[in-house]
């Protein structure tokens, strides 16, 4: 029994059942892999990347005369050693060559980037048709932007979409989007202003949620250490789905928010206050009935500092406060005054006494 959870990119590419699933050639393969994806969300990034690669390869059959068949087969064997060969079968009555990719050939192609060289050979001999080769090959080139504590950055993607990433966030996206879709992967929090393109839906995968739009503005919050994930819509429409259970989903209208409790796995819709969910992108730091642990986590992420607790403060009530583009010292003075603790800031550390 194969342990698909240990599959690498090369493993997915070489798996015949996965190839059949991507090309929709087998109902059994499609049913198996769709169910597997629902049960293994932690492997979705690698599986989706493999799917993108295979989608970029369009396999065709061409009728060839005997001379051309032998010539092409010889060139193919020269390009790939016999022990890592492509298995070929031929229907003589139709003079058609059919190809099935071996596991070892794909592993070499992936590790040594032979895909470019081999695709050129096949293109010249009319065995494969890559369509727009430049765009298809670029689908496997991924860009990753990581934002550290205390930082925020703004990105503009090639399609014109604008994304602001919050502290301790990571965004992964292809260098060039495909012709029929735009897909990115988010860990943390980001505000999206998606460029409108009715022919290419824009989907954000974030842990257990997928959010799909055609063009709109919204916020996604999906930190790994938080129990709740949120999608808050500013304008337009978005479709939000629970990736663990694809049957659970909803469409949001402006000023509606979808919240997913990761422990209970329940997705709910509610209205939200603009400042609460989107204020961070304008430098607004908010606390609403927060305990000290929540205050600490938020300040560490916001200002890129570490807390050293010599004496745990005891908040009689939860703390609420609003700070707009204020320094760490000003914020701590406001919190300490009402919460009864003293602090020192030394070399990136906040010492609580």
Which of the listed residues 112, 138, 164 is the one where a domain comes to its end?
138
Same domain, 162 and 267: yes
Same domain, 146 and 128: no
Alpha-carbon radius of gyration of the chain: 26
Same domain, 114 and 182: no
Same domain, 134 and 148: no
What CATH number is attached to the domain comprising 201? 2.60.120.1440
Same domain, 47 and 16: yes
Please indicate, yes or no, whether the overall pTM of this predicted structure exceeds 0.85. Answer: no
pLDDT tens for the chain, residues 1 to 353: 577 877 887 788 878 888 888 888 888 888 888 888 888 877 777 888 778 767 655 444 344 445 454 555 455 455 444 444 333 344 443 444 344 444 444 454 444 433 443 343 333 333 333 334 334 444 458 999 999 999 999 999 999 999 999 999 999 999 999 989 999 999 999 999 999 998 899 999 998 899 999 889 999 999 988 989 999 999 998 999 887 776 678 999 999 999 998 888 888 999 999 999 999 999 999 999 898 889 999 999 999 999 998 888 876 678 899 999 999 999 999 988 887 788 999 988 999 98
Same domain, 190 and 103: no
Structural domain span for residue 297: 283-352
Same domain, 211 and 313: no
How many domains does the chain divide into? 3
pLDDT for residue 340:
79
Which of the listed residues 241, 276, 311 is the one where a domain comes to its end?
276
| Phi, psi for 125 (deg, rounded to 5) | -95, 5
Same domain, 61 and 146: no
Distance CA(25)–CA(59), nearest Å, equals 12
How would DSSP label each residue in 236-289? S-EEEEESSSTT-EEEE-TTEEEEEETTTTEEEEEE--HHHHHGGGGTEEEEEE
pLDDT for residue 66:
52
- Bridge partners of residue 137, in order along the sequence: none
Same domain, 166 and 250: yes
Same domain, 62 and 121: yes
What CATH number is attached to the domain comprising 305? 3.55.50.30
Which of the listed residues 138, 169, 197 is the one where a domain comes to its end?
138
Same domain, 188 and 287: no
């Amino acid at each position: 029994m194969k342990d698909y959870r240990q599959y690498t990119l090369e493993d997915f590419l070489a798996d015949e059942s996965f190839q059949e699933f991507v090309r929709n050639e087998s109902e059994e393969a499609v049913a198996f892999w769709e169910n597997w994806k629902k049960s293994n969300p932690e492997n979705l990034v690698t599986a989706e990347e493999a799917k993108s690669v295979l989608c970029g390869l369009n396999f065709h059959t061409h009728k060839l005369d005997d001379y051309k068949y032998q010539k092409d087969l010889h060139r193919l064997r020269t390009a790939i050693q016999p022990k890592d060969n492509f298995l070929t079968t031929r229907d003589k009555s139709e003079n058609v060559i059919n190809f099935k990719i071996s596991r070892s050939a794909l592993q070499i192609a992936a590790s040594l980037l032979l895909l470019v060289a081999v695709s050129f050979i096949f293109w010249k001999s009319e065995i494969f048709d890559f369509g727009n080769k430049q765009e298809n090959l670029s689908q496997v080139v991924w860009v990753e932007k990581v934002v550290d504590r205390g930082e925020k950055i703004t990105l503009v993607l090639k399609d014109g979409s604008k994304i602001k990433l919050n502290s301790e966030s990571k965004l992964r996206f292809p260098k060039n989007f495909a012709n029929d879709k735009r897909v990115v992967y988010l860990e943390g929090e980001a505000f999206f202003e998606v460029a409108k393109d009715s022919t290419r839906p824009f989907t954000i995968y974030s842990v257990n949620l997928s959010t799909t739009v055609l063009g709109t503005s919204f916020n996604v919050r999906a930190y790994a250490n938080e129990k709740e994930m949120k999608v808050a819509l500013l304008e337009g429409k978005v479709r939000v789905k629970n990736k663990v259970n694809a049957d659970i989903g909803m469409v949001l209208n402006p000023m509606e928010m979808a919240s997913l409790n990761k422990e209970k796995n329940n997705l709910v819709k509610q209205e939200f206050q603009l400042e609460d969910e989107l204020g961070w992108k304008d430098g607004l730091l908010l606390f609403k009935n927060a305990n000290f642990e929540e205050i600490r986590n938020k300040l560490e992420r916001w200002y890129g500092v570490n807390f050293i607790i010599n004496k745990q403060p005891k908040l009689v009530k939860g703390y609420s406060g609003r700070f707009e583009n204020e320094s760490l010292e000003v914020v701590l003075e406001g919190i300490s005054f009402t919460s009864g603790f003293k602090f020192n800031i030394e070399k990136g550390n906040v010492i609580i006494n």
